[in-house]
Homo-oligomer: A and B are copies of this chain.
């Protein structure tokens, strides 16, 4: 049943949402830091951080069934940003192990209550443009997951295509409540530019790391390649007191590699084509495209306190988070990111290279700034 256009989207009673909140976002330095990564920031001027916005758009579908998984270093910040999150719904990883152990732990916790419960995993640091359309896609994905599939939400690639995995789109599947879901023939990890262009032409979809699957199914799929990991995750779920002792033994691996790719090869993956705008805010050029141009300053995008920015004939993006006035004069495609302890000045064309700055700062002993 569609809820698009309704004020109160209908709850999906068997859905539990898992939000892995991790990733440093080094290409958004100095806004995003190891100590304060991307997901904790309001990057689009909505007044809510990316994490808060992620919870906001999923909580109506699964009230009181949102779990957040984050690193020990960020647990306090997550609690501050999500004061309504029950303490037992925050799962804290003692050390980073990529996405599979994080999501797998949530599945193991959920499985103890109901192996048939559906788990939907959504990154904490993506931007989604049409919340109603997103919720409708999730609803379809849940319907498909109830039939035992691992379901991904497939993104129509924006030009230029993001450098991430793609899912090949096969025949439509007939599933009640999931009219647009299709069979996935294969995942192709980070195709080269020529292959990526060919896939875009062919109408293939992009994997944005959004997976919907029954808890028991996920653990079964994982057990095929990683039986030890499933055993350990179930031990931790049964006795959280063992987390610190057992966590370090877990393999560092993404859910894409551990489950999605082998499951697709085995014909177990379905895709719901997304009908909503999506962006992983990978760098400042990407961020700029999400911001409105200033009405009195065409070509300039401002993040932060607009009243601090004075522009004379420049284009680009200015992030005014340093509390001081930022003046840009006659400079094109500039990226200025002002924070209290560090300032970045670059161009849109060099946005992908910002991560090299973080590496340089670490090399010269300025980890305090990263």
B312 touches A357 (CB 8 A): yes
Which stretch of A63-71, A114-122, A245-253, A321-329 is in the interface? A321-329
Which one, B329, B360, B366, contacts A346 given CB within 8 A?
Answer: B329
Which stretch of A48-56, A125-133, A186-194, A347-355 is in the interface? A347-355
Q: Is A143 an interface residue (CB 8 A)?
A: no
A342 touches B325 (CB 8 A): yes
For A30, list chain B residues within 8 Å (CB): 327
* 5 A-B pairs in the complex with CB atoms less than 8 angstroms apart: A327-B342, A327-B361, A329-B356, A330-B347, A331-B334
A354 touches B325 (CB 8 A): no
The list of the 7 closest CB pairs from A to B, nearest first, reads: A330-B350, A329-B346, A325-B342, A324-B341, A327-B344, A326-B343, A328-B345
Chain B's closest residue to A336 (CB) is: B345
Q: Is A244 an interface residue (CB 8 A)?
A: no
A343 touches B329 (CB 8 A): no
For A345, list chain B residues within 8 Å (CB): 314, 326-329, 331, 334, 336, 345
Q: Is A310 an interface residue (CB 8 A)?
A: yes
A330 touches B353 (CB 8 A): yes
Q: Is A261 an interface residue (CB 8 A)?
A: no
Q: Is A1 an interface residue (CB 8 A)?
A: no
B347 touches A331 (CB 8 A): yes
Known pairs A325-B341, A338-B343 / 14 extra A-B pairs, C-beta < 8 Å:
A30-B327, A310-B360, A312-B357, A324-B339, A324-B341, A325-B361, A326-B345, A327-B343, A327-B344, A327-B346, A327-B357, A327-B361, A330-B349, A330-B353
B312 touches A324 (CB 8 A): no
Within 8 A of B (CB), among A51-84: none
User: Cα distance A334–B334 when bound, in Å?
Assistant: 10
Q: Is A340 an interface residue (CB 8 A)?
A: yes
For A342, list chain B residues within 8 Å (CB): 324-327
Task: Please give the distance in Å from A85's CB to the nearest CB on chain B.
Answer: 34
For A354, list chain B residues within 8 Å (CB): 329
**A interface residues, how many (CB within 8 angstroms):** 36
Chain B's closest residue to A338 (CB) is: B343
Which one, B312, B338, B346, B366, contacts A330 given CB within 8 A?
Answer: B346
User: Cα distance A356–B312 when bound, in Å?
Assistant: 9
For A336, list chain B residues within 8 Å (CB): 343, 345
Task: Please give the distance in Å from A60's CB to the nearest CB on chain B.
Answer: 41
B310 touches A357 (CB 8 A): yes
Which one, B331, B339, B364, contacts A310 given CB within 8 A?
Answer: B364
User: Cα distance A190–B325 when bound, in Å?
Assistant: 35
Q: Is A265 an interface residue (CB 8 A)?
A: no
User: Cα distance A356–B95 when bound, in Å?
Assistant: 53
For A197, list chain B residues within 8 Å (CB): none
Q: Is A369 an interface residue (CB 8 A)?
A: yes
User: Cα distance A342–B366 when bound, in Å?
Assistant: 24
User: Cα distance A310–B353 when bound, in Å?
Assistant: 14
Within 8 A of B (CB), among A12-34: 30
Chain B's closest residue to A346 (CB) is: B329
Chain B's closest residue to A368 (CB) is: B325
